[in-house]
Amino acid sequence: MTDVPALRFAFEIHVDLAPTLHIGHGTGERTEFTPITGGKVTGPLLNGAVLPGGGDWSSTRGTVCELDARYLLQADDGAVIDIANRGYYHEDDPTAPAQQDGPLKTSAPGVYYRTSPVFRTDAAPHLWLTRMVFVGLARDAGPHAIAIRMYALL
Answer yes or no: is 78 within a domain: yes
Answer yes or no: is 15 within a domain: yes
pLDDT band of residue 136 (cuts 50, 70, 90) is very high
pLDDT value, residue 97: 59
Average pLDDT, the chain: 90
**DSSP three-state, residue 44:** coil
**DSSP three-state, residue 124:** helix
For 97-107, the pLDDT digits (tens) are 566 555 555 56
For 24-80, the pLDDT digits (tens) are 887 888 999 999 999 999 999 999 999 999 999 999 998 899 999 999 999 999 999
pTM for this predicted structure: 0.89
Answer yes or no: is 118 within a domain: yes
Q: How many domains does the chain have?
A: 1
Any idea what the CATH number is for the domain that residue 148 is in? 2.40.160.20
Answer yes or no: is 26 within a domain: yes
pLDDT value, residue 127: 98
| Number of Cβ atoms within 10 Å of the Cβ of 95 | 6
Q: Which residue has the higher pLDDT, 1 or 113?
A: 113
Answer yes or no: is 111 within a domain: yes
Answer yes or no: is 1 within a domain: no
State which H helix or E strand residue 57 sits in: strand 48-61
pLDDT value, residue 43: 97
Contact 151, 45 (CB under 8 A): no
Answer yes or no: is 2 within a domain: no
Question: What domain range includes position 91?
Answer: 7-153
Answer yes or no: is 149 within a domain: yes
Phi, psi of 93, deg, nearest 5 = -115, 90
Q: Which residues make Cβ contacts (< 8 Å) with residue 26, sequence separation at least 6?
A: none
